[in-house]
A and B are shown apart, each in its own frame.
Chain A
């Protein structure tokens, strides 16, 4: 059964780059898309983007200019970088596995990592 464990810096200053990593344990690294989703305090969920084992990515257009998702298949890890952060990027960031069913790729998120609160403040 797949488990995800994530880590990264929790306090950033405006204009810095957010960097988070998620490790995948207990399952196949291929055959899934590996996603990042965020949740501002007290608010709803926003899909950031995803990557598969071969490096194919999909990004939310609202964040695409600032987001890079990468993969390290040798370590079964994937990472998120979000540049030029502002207070609006303050959120809990989750990594998640997406099992997909077609070429688009369509699918749902399960399981999720434990979440990392990232606060942007001067």
Chain B
């Protein structure tokens, strides 16, 4: 199985801050990576697919980059509704696997 490792596991930030979350795959996955946002008690929501493509309806302050084994999710200017847990997911091979999550908290 491909292991997905996110860092940090949690981060505190303020409204207006720029935040970057990293995801590393245990082997190369090209651009077969997605990012999800999950709020408490809710299902995950797709934000970014193919490493850098913004899902329809997702604000442009979210962006993704990377290929191979190293990927980043950047939120350019945090808004109150962005405080949530973020997961990466590799779609390169079976079984599809997720990172352990990064909890974004209000400072």
Contacts and interface: CB of A to CB of B under 8 A. Distances in A.
Give the secondary structure class of A's interface. Answer: strand
A46 B42 CA distance: 16
A1 B34 CA distance: 20
B98 A110 contact: no
Contact of B46 (A47, A58, A62, A110): A110
A46 B98 CA distance: 7
A44 B49 contact: no
A115 B94 contact: no
**Chain B: interface size category:** 20 to 34
B87 interface: yes
Contacts, number: 53
B84 interface: no
Interface string B33-46: 01010000011111
A45 B87 contact: yes
**Chain A: interface size category:** 20 to 34
Interface string A45-77: 111000000000011111000000000000000
Interface of B: 32, 34, 36, 42-46, 49, 55, 87, 89, 91-101
